[in-house]
Amino acid sequence: MTAEPAVPGLDPHRSPSPGTELDEPALRVWRAFLQASVLLPRRLDEELQAAHGLSLAEYDTLLHIANAPDRRVRMSVLADRVLLSRSGITRLVDRLVANGMVERWACPTDARGAEAVLTGSGLDRLREAAKTHVAGIERHFLAPLDATDREAIEHGLGRVAEALDPCSQAMTAAPSRPAD
């Protein structure tokens, strides 16, 4: 008991080597973000899985294909959007193909390329799953946030994400409009 003063250089209450640690408020923001960033996707994944047998990544992939012109996307574009590696998206699409939600087509303009194309069944699955998923986002993410929180999170985390990967921002900023 009376807890050892904790590790110098790590515990916010002591400051042995300045610059090596976060002050208390900074630590609290960081931990709040870290916790939410683990717990929230995990919960949404569980709900999606339980209700529709889809993982969050699979859902997200279907959604990106569905929102693309003609409901077809190049594999590499898809990988960028879903924040997965090339091989990762190959395997994920393999699963969707095996379950009849997606078909793989050769790219007409570049014979090296492949396109993932949503099937009717895939669209149906997606539409069903969307109800669950949207409800989950509203309940677990949006509900606890007031207008100020939402504004700040969009702004702040938007900048954070943009700095980490400038490419992936097209989608976030201007959803499904060709030019903006």
Partner DNA sequence: TAAGATTGATAACTCAATCTTA
Partner DNA sequence: TAAGATTGAGTTATCAATCTTA
Residues 46-85 that bind its own copies (CB under 8 A): 63, 66-67, 69-71, 83
d(Cα 103, Cα 97) in Å, to the nearest integer? 6
| Shortest distance in whole angstroms from residue 77 CB to DNA | 7
Q: Which does 88 bind (CB under 5 to 8 A by kind): its own copies, DNA, none?
A: DNA
Quote the crossing angle between the two packed helices 56-66 and 86-98, to the nearest 10°.
90
Residues 115-154 that bind its own copies (CB under 8 A): 123, 126-127, 130-131, 134, 137-138, 140-142, 144-146, 148-154
At a CB cut-off of 8 Å and minimum separation 6, what does 49 contact? 55
Sign of the Cα torsion 65, 69, 75, 78 reads negative
Q: How many residues sit close enough to its own copies to count as binding (CB under 8 A)?
A: 80
84 binds DNA (CB under 7 A): yes
85 binds DNA (CB under 7 A): yes
Eight-class DSSP state of 45:
H
Q: Which does 12 bind (CB under 5 to 8 A by kind): its own copies, DNA, none?
A: its own copies
User: Which residue(s) pair with 74 in the sheet?
Assistant: 115
